[in-house]
Amino acid sequence: MLFDARTGFVYMSAMSVVMALAIWIVLRGQRTSSVWYWCGGGLAVAAGSMLMALRDVLPPIAYELGNLCIFVAFAAKVQSLRVEAGQSASWHRLVGESLLFLVVFTILLRVTHQTSLNFLFGIASFTLMNVLLTKWAWRLWREQQIFSAFWIGLGYAVMTLMFSFRFIVVASGYFHPTILTQGADALVLALASVVVAIISNMGYLGIHLERSTSAKMTAAAAQARAEENQRLSEQLTQLDRQRCLGAMSVSLGHELNQPLAAILTNAQIVQRGLQQAATSDAAHAAPIGEFLERIVSNTQRASQIIERIRGFIRPRPTQCELLALQQLVPEVVKLIAAEARAQRVTITLDPDMPPLRINADSVQLSQILINVLRNAIEALAGAERREIHISLSEETGMAVLRIDDTGAGLSAEALARVGEPFFSTKTSGLGMGITISQTIAAQHGGDLTLTNAPGGGAVATLTLPLAFGNG
């Protein structure tokens, strides 16, 4: 006696339980319906194999149950692969197929009393199931480039051949249909089953490993893309700030010249005073201390202007902090005051702005304001009344900053297209200022809209979420 197929079935049973549990444990974080079907199928194989192995010591019904279990195992694994391939797989189908198999098998066994007929039906059903398993596995391999699925398919293709071979030899009457033979065919079938069970379970685990690896790579690529976008957006906002400052440089130069002019004259007066003191009596000397104080204060004034410019232009990553809007707005207005004065535009601030705190990047927020204010100043060129009014209010958890001007307002076309990149009403404009400002506002969880006021003139409304615990 070379080999007893019953031993093979016992091995097969034990191995199937172990592998099903192993997969169940390894994939604990991602138990989709596919995993349920697969592991359930594994347990069904184990049950079926055990029933087959112990057929001699169990009641005769064990034979039908064993065959049913093996069919259920194949059908469940087909369902599992269908799920992996993105197809629907309801349990009704599994139950229906299994019942059909059981009914036909029982009828053939109990009614016809021809052993070979039900045996052949069983083998034919298993062959069909293996063909389906091969088909779905290879489809998975081809459609999703999962190489583990190829090995599953190969394993089931081998099983298909084995079952076909067995079907042919039994049908031709060369071998006895009893599964528990000790012949070479039973040996080969048992060995093949074990090997294919190992390959298919490894392959199934492989599918999930490949999937999670590629998911990680996709996530990493997405993050890299997001970081690149962030960097580009920062560069773009930086460029916009530089362009802004370039356009304002003449008026800022004038602004800076004022304290310098005052410093020069103060210093020259002191110089003259000292010369006079040296030549005549000291009583005539001018009060030098006062002039020196003025030199100091004007130097501070000049350096504040430079500091404001530097703070606006310095390239830096987005950096959110708690900001008091009612303090930031007047600071920004100081930066653009020279430009407004040069264009004879009066900027007025609402005298009682409520204290509102928001979480934002101060430079980028200043940038929005500068863009909007410069837009308004340019819109006022040629207008009879040249005034800009800024007000601040709170509306349902949002800070609302309103900038009204007394210009002609926006044309219908401008209203429709405002915020589109490269749309500009000015011949010299790049058309990026408002687009960038709107992007910044959106990044801060708010928005920026430009409309016309009912009484004439344009209104820019900047809405930003208030910081938690405000007021």
Partner 1 sequence: MADDAPRRRPVTVADQERAARCARGRVVLIDDDAEICFIYAVLIELEGYACETFASATAFLTTLREKQPRFPGPCCVLCDVSMPDIDGLELQRQLALYRDAPLIFISGSSGIDEAITGFRAGAVDFLIKPVDADVLLAAVAKALALSTERQLARERRTVVIARMALLTEREREVIQRVAQGQTNAEIGAALGIVERTVKFHRQNAMEKLAVESVIELVRLVDEMQL
Query: How is residue 275 annotated by DSSP?
Result: H
Among the listed residues 102, 78, 52, the one whose alpha carbon sits nearest the alpha carbon of residue 159: 78
Backbone angles phi, psi at 465, to 5 degrees: -70, 140
Beta pairing partners, 387: 346
Helix (H) / strand (E) element for 209: namely helix 184-279
Q: Residue 380 interacts with partner 1 (CB under 8 A)?
A: no
Residue 98 vs 258, nearer CB to partner 1: 258
How far apart, in whole angstroms, are the C-alpha atoms of residue 220 and residue 226? 10
* Residue partners of 171: CB distance under 8 A and separation at least 6: 116, 120
Q: What share of the chain is helix, strand, coil (3-state, %, to 5)?
A: 70, 10, 20
Helix (H) / strand (E) element for 295: namely helix 288-313
Q: Which two tokens stand for residue 458?
A: 């344009």
Beta pairing partners, 71: none
Residue 87 vs 275, nearer CB to partner 1: 275
* Residue partners of 287: CB distance under 8 A and separation at least 6: none
Q: Residue 257 interacts with partner 1 (CB under 8 A)?
A: yes
Give the residue, chosen from 259, 433, 446, 457, that forms a contact with partner 1 under the rule CB under 8 A: 259
Residue 276 vs 359, nearer CB to partner 1: 276
How far apart, in whole angstroms, are the C-alpha atoms of residue 325 and residue 355? 7
How far apart, in whole angstroms, are the C-alpha atoms of residue 467 and residue 461? 19
Rounded to a whole number of angstroms, the minimum distance from the CB of residue 277 to partner 1 is 13
Query: How is residue 283 annotated by DSSP?
Result: G
Give the residue, chosen from 201, 266, 364, 435, that forms a contact with partner 1 under the rule CB under 8 A: 266
CA separation, residue 123 to residues 13, 71, 79, 344 (Å):
19, 10, 20, 96
Q: Which two tokens stand for residue 140?
A: 């998975």
Give the residue, chosen from 258, 299, 391, 443, that forms a contact with partner 1 under the rule CB under 8 A: 258
Rounded to a whole number of angstroms, the minimum distance from the CB of residue 300 to partner 1 is 12
Rounded to a whole number of angstroms, the minimum distance from the CB of residue 404 to partner 1 is 20
Rounded to a whole number of angstroms, the minimum distance from the CB of residue 425 to partner 1 is 24
How far apart, in whole angstroms, are the C-alpha atoms of residue 411 and residue 171? 88
Q: Which of the residues 335 through 374 are near partner 1 (CB under 8 A)?
A: 341-342, 344, 346
Residue 320 vs 383, nearer CB to partner 1: 383
Helix (H) / strand (E) element for 106: namely helix 91-106
Rounded to a whole number of angstroms, the minimum distance from the CB of residue 465 to partner 1 is 37
Only segment of 190-198, 257-265, 304-312, 367-375 that touches partner 1 (CB under 8 A): 257-265
Rounded to a whole number of angstroms, the minimum distance from the CB of residue 375 to partner 1 is 20
Residue 273 vs 465, nearer CB to partner 1: 273
Q: Which of the residues 59 through 88 are near partner 1 (CB under 8 A)?
A: none
Q: Which residue has the tokens 């293709």?
A: 157
Residue 98 vs 343, nearer CB to partner 1: 343
How far apart, in whole angstroms, are the C-alpha atoms of residue 202 and residue 115? 36
* Residue partners of 214: CB distance under 8 A and separation at least 6: none
Rounded to a whole number of angstroms, the minimum distance from the CB of residue 262 to partner 1 is 4
Rounded to a whole number of angstroms, the minimum distance from the CB of residue 260 to partner 1 is 5
The rounded Cα 158 to chain-centroid distance in angstroms is: 43
Residue 202 vs 269, nearer CB to partner 1: 269
Rounded to a whole number of angstroms, the minimum distance from the CB of residue 258 to partner 1 is 5
Contact 450, 434 (CB under 8 A): yes
| Angle value at C-alpha 410, between 409 and 414, nearest 5 degrees | 175
Residue 299 vs 470, nearer CB to partner 1: 299
Q: Residue 272 interacts with partner 1 (CB under 8 A)?
A: yes
Burial class (CB in 10 A: 0-12, 13-18, 19+), 29: exposed
Give the residue, chosen from 99, 103, 107, 250, that forms a contact with partner 1 under the rule CB under 8 A: 250
Q: Which of the residues 292 through 321 are near partner 1 (CB under 8 A)?
A: 294, 298, 301
Q: Which of the residues 112 through 171 are near partner 1 (CB under 8 A)?
A: none
- How many residues contact partner 1, by CB under 8 A? 25
Only segment of 238-246, 261-269, 350-358, 453-461 that touches partner 1 (CB under 8 A): 261-269
Residue 17 vs 262, nearer CB to partner 1: 262
Among the listed residues 240, 226, 224, the one whose alpha carbon sits nearest the alpha carbon of residue 443: 226
Rounded to a whole number of angstroms, the minimum distance from the CB of residue 455 to partner 1 is 24
Rounded to a whole number of angstroms, the minimum distance from the CB of residue 275 to partner 1 is 12
Site string for partner 1, 275-294 (x = CB under 8 A): -----------x----x--x
Rounded to a whole number of angstroms, the minimum distance from the CB of residue 265 to partner 1 is 5
Residue 242 vs 275, nearer CB to partner 1: 275
Residue 241 vs 294, nearer CB to partner 1: 294
Give the footprint of partner 1 on this chain (CB under 8 A).
250, 253-254, 257-266, 268-269, 272, 286, 291, 294, 298, 301, 341-342, 344, 346
